[in-house]
């Protein structure tokens, strides 16, 4: 039965560990000197860029893990589906989120970490805005009497948006680590560990917040409202630290050229 699943998964993970141990090698350029202490590596948390990348990864990885855990019961409660059908549809989100990460790495190498992450956040913002809207009935008074309208996503549109969101976050998980390799080539291990920890904490904390919000509001889509707000924070942060700075530097450079001539 299903109790064999974690045992098989553990065996596969153990096999992967053995293969990694036997066939991987250490790049001397990435080795941390022996005189560097663990506390010295943690000082990277004072770097605003590291905190920003933690914020990004808490969405694209932490949000991915949290929603993967949340989706089955969401389908059952929101759309009244059988748990087996709900699990199958939930895989439409979780499967691309794990499989397509390598493509996100290719895109990040070709177009840059910023460009990929910028579009990932904007597409996520649109998807989460639509997913946040709860099932709503409202009545308006017309000349022919009151009329009632219904607004809400059906299961097909909901699954399509979740599929698109899973693809975006697969790309985003790769693009965030592209930032790290570009900005911290001599300290990839410590920085990627800190950022990965932030993503893992997001995957642990967000489901708790999802449940608390649903208990508080009674609205299942409040989970997407929370994620929508988190993406807003990332977009604003990215704009002021990357987009706006790039434009200012570009305008200053353009202004300096006539003066030099």
What are the DSSP calls for 58-86, one per residue? HHHTHHHHHHHHHHHHHHHHHH---HHHH
Query: Cα 34 to chain center, whole Å?
Result: 34
> Over the stretch 197-235, which tens digit does the pLDDT of each residue have?
999 999 999 999 999 999 999 999 999 999 999 999 999
Q: What pLDDT does 189 receive?
A: 80
- 46 close to 190: Cβ distance less than 8 angstroms: no
Residue 252 has pLDDT above 70, yes or no: no
Name residue, tokens 């693009």.
Answer: 175
Residue 34 has pLDDT above 80, yes or no: no
Query: Cα 194 to chain center, whole Å?
Result: 16
Output 64 or 248, whichever has higher pLDDT. Answer: 64
Least confident of 108-117, 146-155, 210-219, 243-252: 243-252
Of all residues in the chain, the percent with pLDDT exceeding 90 is 60
Structure tokens that stand for 259 in this block: 């003066």
- Measured CA to CA in angstroms, residue 132 lies from 63, 220, 250 at distances of 14, 9, 37
Task: Give domain limits for the chain.
Answer: 49-236
CATH number for the domain whose boundaries are 49-236: 1.20.1250.20
Please state, in angstroms and rounded to a whole number, the distance separating the CA atoms of residues 248 and 27.
38
DSSP-assigned beta bridge partners for residue 181? none
Q: What pLDDT does 127 receive?
A: 96
pTM for this entry:
0.80
Least Cα distance to 121 among 238, 231, 233, 236 occurs for 231
Residue 31 Rama label (left phi>0; alpha psi -120 to 50; beta): beta
Average pLDDT, the chain: 87
Least Cα distance to 134 among 119, 118, 151 occurs for 151
- 141 close to 31: Cβ distance less than 8 angstroms: no
């Amino acid at each position: 039965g299903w109790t064999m699943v974690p045992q098989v998964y553990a065996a596969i993970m153990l096999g992967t560990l053995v293969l990694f141990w036997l066939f991987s090698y250490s790049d001397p350029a990435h080795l941390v000197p022996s005189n560097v202490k663990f506390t010295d590596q943690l000082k990277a948390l004072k770097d605003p860029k590291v905190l920003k990348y933690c914020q990004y990864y808490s969405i694209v990885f932490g949000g991915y893990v949290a929603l993967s855990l949340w989706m089955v019961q969401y389908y059952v409660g929101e759309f009244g589906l059988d748990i087996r059908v709900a699990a199958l549809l939930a895989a439409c989100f979780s499967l691309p989120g794990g499989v397509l990460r390598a493509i996100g790495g290719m895109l990040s190498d070709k177009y840059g970490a910023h460009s990929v992450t910028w579009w990932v956040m904007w597409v996520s913002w649109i998807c989460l805005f639509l997913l946040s809207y709860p099932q709503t009935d409202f009545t308006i008074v017309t000349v022919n009497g009151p009329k009632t309208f219904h607004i809400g996503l059906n299961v097909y549109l909901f699954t399509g948006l979740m599929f698109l969101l899973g693809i975006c976050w697969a790309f985003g998980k790769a693009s965030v680590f592209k930032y790290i390799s570009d900005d911290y080539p001599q300290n990839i291990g410590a920085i990627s560990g800190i950022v990965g920890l932030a993503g893992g904490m997001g995957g642990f904390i967000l489901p708790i917040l999802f449940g608390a919000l649903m208990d508080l509001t009674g609205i299942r889509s409040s989970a997407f409202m929370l994620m929508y707000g988190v993406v807003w924070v990332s977009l604003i942060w990215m704009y002021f630290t990357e987009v706006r700075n790039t434009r200012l530097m570009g305008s200053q450079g353009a202004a300096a050229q006539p003066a030099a001539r």
